[in-house]
Amino acid sequence: MSREVRVRFAPSPTGPLHIGGVRTALYNYLFARKMGGKFLLRIEDTDQARFVPGAESYIQESLAWLGISPDESPWNPGNCGPYRQSERKDSYMQYALDLVEAGHAYYAFDTAEELEAMRERLTAARVVQPQYNSITRTQMKNSLTLSEDEVKSRLASGEPYVIRVKIPLKEDVRLNDMIRGWVMVHSSTLDDKVLMKSDGMPTYHLANIVDDHLMKITHVIRGEEWLPSAPLHVLLYKFFGWEDTMPEFAHLPLLLKPDGNGKLSKRDGDKLGFPVFPLNWENKADGETAAGFREAGYLPDAFLNFLAFLGWNPGDDRELFSLEELIAAFSMERIGKSGTKFDIAKAKWFNEQYLKAMSTAALAPFVISDASKDGEIILQDTAEALAALMKERVTFPAEIWQGSKFVVVAPTEFDQDVASKRWNADAVTLLTAFAQTLEGFTTNFDAETAKTLLGETADANEIKLGKSMQAVRLAVTGAGAGPDLMEIFAILGTEEVAKRIRFALATLEVIS
RNA sequence: GGUCGGUUCGUCUAGGGGUUAGGACACGUCCCUUUCACGGAUGAAACACGGGUUCGAUUCCCGUACCGACUACCA
């Protein structure tokens, strides 16, 4: 029998959703769509202490921005709710108790101090790995060492306790990871992980397995940092008797720092000057902030495309994929095994490609909005004209207005470097004559006409146009470089161009 | 330290017993051009190391080195 594919993204609301998490969500989404299955989102908020208000809505907004919204989630529940573990709290204890009953788990009463003492003792005795396991549990206070009566009375008296999994002494635990193949570990290297915490909440390991089972998850696609605990999870499925529906595992390679080594972290973004989060973030409680790709000017489709290629490739030379195309091309077999260093230059390149492909009409809102921030109200037509002028030469939408606002706001200052090199007698002659020419010109003034007109004026005055061109640009735009000057002339019109030239003529000093 | 995972140009990667080891980003040069970009062309640039298997290993096996993850009543 083949089950409907159901995958989940299960973040913890402990802060802004990290870019690595976004990629994990994306791969889950792509796989679900590819297989005609469902993509669910489950909030893993079992740690009260680390809960951060606002983090959950941040996750929701991030996924919505990218268009990879889940089929089932706390905000649009399916049949397997609730989708927040805190709201499923009551169900976990019984599963833990079942494990105790079956002899696969036990109560432990050790205090934090006793645990610490044990670790110190073991470290002093040069035991390589101090851990609560099949050896050390015989010396601790738990239902394996205490009498049945004592356990009962401790439980009855309300003494705090945890429930720990009882890892078998000698057993090879193996799992067939979709990305890594067979991975085998010996149970003697595993420790008796806490399943139920003393606050009555389950740990990740318990809640995760129980919920994945209850939510009929068929494939667990998650970061490689979970690989070491995967054997424990396999063991838990076995203890629960759920082996026949145990999901397949796929452990994704990690996103690494661009320089040096290690996992990509928030600090890297701060240090290198680019975001490592999808959206801007601010923690109201402690004032912590983080920069987001959206606000930095990245287009969602470009960002998605970039993210998809961090650890996956389609096997051919194509790089530009829409979300639909990613779904069609995606396959788990083509996910790499090794960690991926994060390269912001490539992200910029993707953004440029998508920007170029966008229509000027679609770009206009960015321009209008940026202009209004400068106190300039511009029309759709103007915004589109500026977008047409700039979109092939910028990385981010904000650079359109930034690089072309001189069209709307006439320059009052001129680039001194350019002026000192180019504002010579020839330039002044040419510009004076050109301004006069423009005055009498009333027919259609397009880029082609402007070019002809300027050329004729230069010829008439026996001036080499090439040498004076930058001065012309300077007079009209205030800068020595920028988009096609003739296109700018066409947008400005004869009157405005003439006016600007006269202003420059009156303002700039001629070099000898 | 232990367990697990990984290792092809600076980066992302394709490939896989016999290849001039391919592409993309970034970088250099040239062309286009009124500037700056875009675009086009082109260049430099990689199989971690040592054994083994083999007629032949970058590819398969073993070891070493290096990198990473994990090693909590966090996920």
Nucleotides of chain B within 7 Å of a protein C-beta? Answer: 1-8, 10-15, 22-26, 34-38, 67-75
Record the tokens describing residue A103, joined without a space: 């002899």
A252 three-state secondary structure: strand
Indicate the burial class of A71 (C-beta count within 10 angstroms; 0-12, 13-18, 19 or more): middle
A194 three-state secondary structure: strand
A249 three-state secondary structure: strand
CA of A222 to C1' of B1 (A): 28
Secondary structure of A92-107 in the HEC alphabet? HHHHHHHHHHCCCEEE
The nucleotide minimizing the C1' distance to residue A188's CA is B3
Indicate the burial class of A139 (C-beta count within 10 angstroms; 0-12, 13-18, 19 or more): exposed
The nucleotide minimizing the C1' distance to residue A207's CA is B75
The protein residue nearest B36 (Cα–C1') is: A481
Residues A441-490 have pLDDT tens digits of 777 888 988 999 999 999 999 888 888 899 999 999 999 999 999 999 99
Predicted pLDDT at A273: 84
Specify the pairing of strand A6-9 against strand A38-41. parallel
Rounded Cα gap, residues A170 and A187, in angstroms: 6
- pLDDT lower than 70: segments of chain A: 1, 127-128, 260, 512
Rounded Cα gap, residues A60 and A68, in angstroms: 10
CA of A419 to C1' of B10 (A): 39
Record the tokens describing residue A198, joined without a space: 């003393």
Rounded Cα gap, residues A492 and A483, in angstroms: 13
Predicted pLDDT at A445: 86
Rounded Cα gap, residues A249 and A13, in angstroms: 23
Q: For residue A184, what is the DSSP state?
A: E
Indicate the burial class of A502 (C-beta count within 10 angstroms; 0-12, 13-18, 19 or more): middle
Question: Catalytic residue positions of A?
Answer: 266
CB A28 within 8 A of CB A41: no
Rounded Cα gap, residues A431 and A472, in angstroms: 7
CA of A122 to C1' of B64 (A): 31
Closest to A92 in 3D by CA, of A239, A8, A223, A204: A204
Which long-range contacts does A178-181 make (Cβ < 8 Å, 24+ apart)? A178/A219, A178/A248, A178/A249, A178/A250, A178/A332, A179/A250, A179/A251, A179/A252, A179/A253, A179/A332, A179/A335, A179/A337, A180/A227, A180/A251, A180/A337
Burial A458-485 (b: 16+ CB within 10 A, else e): beeeebebeebbbbbbbbbbbbbebbeb
CB A430 within 8 A of CB A462: no
The nucleotide minimizing the C1' distance to residue A469's CA is B34
Record the tokens describing residue A208, joined without a space: 């995760």
CB A342 within 8 A of CB A258: yes
Give the residues across from A306 on adjacent strands.
none
Predicted pLDDT at A260: 64
Predicted pLDDT at A444: 82
CB A178 within 8 A of CB A249: yes
CA of A419 to C1' of B66 (A): 55
Record the tokens describing residue A342, joined without a space: 């994060």
A183 three-state secondary structure: strand
CB A236 within 8 A of CB A165: yes
CA-to-CA separations, A216 to A174, A220, A238, A247, in angstroms, rounded: 22, 11, 16, 8
CA of A34 to C1' of B27 (A): 38
Record the tokens describing residue A80, joined without a space: 């397997």
Predicted pLDDT at A509: 85
The nucleotide minimizing the C1' distance to residue A180's CA is B5
The protein residue nearest B25 (Cα–C1') is: A346
pTM: 0.95
Predicted pLDDT at A127: 66
Record the tokens describing residue A474, joined without a space: 């300077």
CB A405 within 8 A of CB A372: no
Cβ partners under 8 Å of residue A490, min gap 6? A445, A446, A447, A450
* DSSP states along A290-311: E-BHHHHT--HHHHHHHHHTSS
Give the residues across from A38 on adjacent strands.
A6
Q: Helices A344-357 & A300-308, crossing angle to 10 degrees?
A: 130
A408 three-state secondary structure: coil
A21 three-state secondary structure: helix
Cis-peptide, bond into residue A74, ω within 30° of zero: no
